[in-house]
Structure 1
Amino acid sequence: MSRRPQQMNLIKLIHAGQNYMQICPKDKRLSTAFPEINIIRLTQYAIRFMPPLAIAIFVWQYYMHAKLVLCIITALFALSLPVQGLLWLGKRAKSALPLNLLDWFNQLRARLITDNIIINKPIEPTFSELMRLLDLTQKHIGDYLDIDHDHRHGEEGQ
């Protein structure tokens, strides 16, 4: 009975990782502050290239007379790399924001509420929600890295 909830948690983490990959802005400027930008890129490559590579490694090792167990273990390791990336991304997506990002999260959220892009409802400040706000800001307002500066200039002009 205890295995079932663990399996469901892994599946939920993988789905959360897939969703996180989709909502994360692909802006290279964010990669210095958010390692997930690079992890997403690497995970996407792993999803695309590891299955054929795992088969090639398996066949090569098998024909080089390696033990079948070693061939299987190597192939399984290669196939596990994209899953490991998705699990890491899923865990990151559900993680609470550290204090140094809360102010930026609140500024983005306030600007999106002020501009009637999102409604004012309570949300948990997680990395997933931050990336969702960054994505919405990029689509509707423009540059999210200078959001506080833009907002102050808008108030001064009124």
Structure 2
Amino acid sequence: MNVIKLFKTGHKYMKTCPTDKSLALSFPEIKIIFYIKAANKYLPPLIIAFFVWQFYMHSSIISTIITAIFAISLPIQGILWLGKRASSPLPLNLLPWYIETQQKLIQLGILAKKSVEKETIDLMHFMQLYKLSAMYLDDDYQNKYHN
């Protein structure tokens, strides 16, 4: 898979994933998304602090640049991991919930009836369906397979 395509998929998956704390135990990407957002918020001032520290402490500029590049690469690595995770197949224990929820949303007229083969269902499809079920179905049905 192309790195740019992987990055775009990871970014889309980051926007698609719900931020339910109940899902954080089953899906590590919820925590990774939280860490990426925190890094995007706190890394720019931290990198500036690295360069100010280098100026006042007379340390090597090379070590400061390497540290800054490493710090910048962490959220990028997280997004690339999310892109890889988004295209991984859905675990078999979630497949019954996915099929049942898809059928229920088709019956309600929320989803168009389309044939999805079991081999093509990945975590991106699952998170999209989970988000739809959170909007249109009651909480008891939604939490049926998560508790």
> Taking structure 1 as the reference length, what is the TM-score of the superposition?
0.81
Instruction: Work out whether residues 62 and 71 of structure 1, in 8 Å CA contact, stay in contact via their aligned partners in 2.
Output: no
For structure 2, the 5+ residue unaligned runs are: none
Give runs of ≥4 in structure 1 deviating > 3 Å: none
* Deviation for aligned residue 1:15: 1.3
Matched, 1:45 2:41: no
The count of residues paired between Structure 1 and Structure 2 equals 140
Instruction: Work out whether residues 24 and 131 of structure 1, in 8 Å CA contact, stay in contact via their aligned partners in 2.
Output: yes
1:129-155 superposed Cα distances (whole Å, 9 cap, x missing partner): 0000000000111321127xxxxxxxx
For structure 1, the 5+ residue unaligned runs are: 1-5, 148-158
Counterpart residue type for residue 144 of structure 2: D
Q: Which residue number in structure 1 is paired with residue 112 of structure 2?
A: 119
Counterpart residue type for residue 143 of structure 2: L
Q: Which residue number in structure 2 is paired with residue 153 of structure 1?
A: none
Residue identity over aligned pairs, in percent, reads 46
In structure 2, C-alpha distance between the alignment counterparts of 1:102 and 1:62, rounded to whole Å? 56
Deviating more after overlay: 40-49 vs 114-123? 114-123
Which of residues 125, 129, 145 in structure 2 aligns to 1:129?
125
Q: Which residue number in structure 1 is paired with residue 13 of structure 2?
A: 20
CA RMSD for the aligned pairs? 1.6
- Which structure has the bigger radius of gyration? 1
Deviating more after overlay: 97-106 vs 56-65? 56-65
* Deviation for aligned residue 1:103: 1.6
Q: Which residue number in structure 2 is paired with residue 91 of structure 1?
A: 84
1:24-43 superposed Cα distances (whole Å, 9 cap, x missing partner): 11111111111111111111
* Deviation for aligned residue 1:128: 0.5
